[in-house]
Chain A
C-alpha cells in the first residue's frame, strides 16, 4: 500500500510542479531579441495550445496583440549581469519607430516594487521631449542627484524591466530585432546589495 501512496504523491507532485514551471515561463519561447531585450511573439495572441495559453495567462495576462503593443523584457544589464536593487545603472536611448513607448520596472512577482518614489516607469512623452532624439536616465534605488528620467528600483530585489512599444511601425521579426532599444550600463553597486525581494 505504501508503494502506491509514495508513487501517487510523487507523480501528482511532479505533474502539478511541471505544469507550474512550464506555465511560469521556464521554457518560454522568447525568441525575438534586440540587444539584451527579448520578446515572446505569442504574448497577446490567441493561444495555439493549452501550454502556451497557460504560460500567457501567468506571464502575459491581459496583454495586447503584437500589432497593438510589443512587450520586450530584460533582467540583465548590458554586460549580462542580473539587475540588483543595490546597483545604479545608466540608461540611454533614442527615438524608436513606434507611436509611444514606456519602460516599467517589475519585481520577481511581476508587480511594481513597493515604494513611494513615484518612479516606476519612464515614458516617451517625458524622456524624449522634442526636438531631442536621444535621452539618458538613471535606474537606482535612491533618487539621483542629477535631474532627468529616473526608474526607482527600491524594493525591487532582483527585478526586470519591460518596454512597451505601442503601435510599432512593423512587427516583423527582422524589424523588431533591428530596433535600437535603450541600453543599461552598470555604474556602481553598494557593498551589500539589498535583496529584499519584491513585495
Chain B
C-alpha cells in the first residue's frame, strides 16, 4: 500500500496539461487582435513616415497589397493613431463618390465610421481623443473617442478605374491626420 502511494501517476500531470491548455487558449485568443493590429500599425507607420500621419496608398494590385482582403476598387488612406501625447485632428475632404473614414481601436473594434453622405461640401473635421485625453474639439468638429491610446484610421474612396483613381488623388490631397499642436 505504501509503495502504491509513492508511485508517480498521470493524474497530476494531466491536470497540469489541462491547465496549460486553458491558459494557452485564453492567452492566444486575447493576444490575437492586438498582435494583428500592432503589425498593421507598424506597416502603416512605416509607409507614412511615422505615426499620426496620413499615407495615401496606390491602386491596390496583387504586387503591392499590404493587408489581407484589400479591394482593388478602393483608394485607401491610412493613419496609425497614437493618442498618448494628446488628441489627433483629422480632415477628410468631400468626394464625388463613395468615401468613408473608419476608426478602429487597438483591439480592432470598428468604433466609428463616417461616410460621404454625412460629409458636407466643406469636408469633415474630426478630433480623435482617447478615453483619458481631454476633449479639445473646435466648433464644428466631430469628436471620436477611442477606448485605447492606439488605433487606426482607414479612409476608403471608390476608385475602380485609373481615371477614378486620378480624380481621388486630387480629392484627398488636402486630407490630413496630425497630432493637435494648438492646445485646443
Which residues of A line the B interface, CB within 8 A? 3-4, 6-8, 10-16, 18-20, 22-23, 44-47, 50-51, 53-54, 56-58, 60-65, 68, 99-100, 102, 104, 106, 109-116, 118, 120-121, 123, 125-126, 155, 162, 164, 166-167, 199
Contact = CB atoms under 8 A, between A and B. Distances in A.
Interface residues of B, number: 55
A125 B69 CA distance: 20
B110 A121 contact: no
Contacts of A57: 32-33, 36-37, 108
A102 B104 CA distance: 23
Contacts of B14: 7
Nearest to A126: B160
A4 B20 CA distance: 11
Nearest to A19: B28
Given A11-B18, A11-B20, A68-B113, A166 B69 contact: no
Nearest to A10: B17
A65 B72 contact: no
Given A7-B16, A50-B29, A58-B32, A65 B160 contact: no
B25 A18 contact: yes
Interface string B11-50: 0111011111111111111101100110010000000000
Nearest to B37: A57
6 contacts: A7-B20, A47-B107, A53-B108, A57-B32, A64-B113, A126-B160
B153 to A, nearest CB: 10
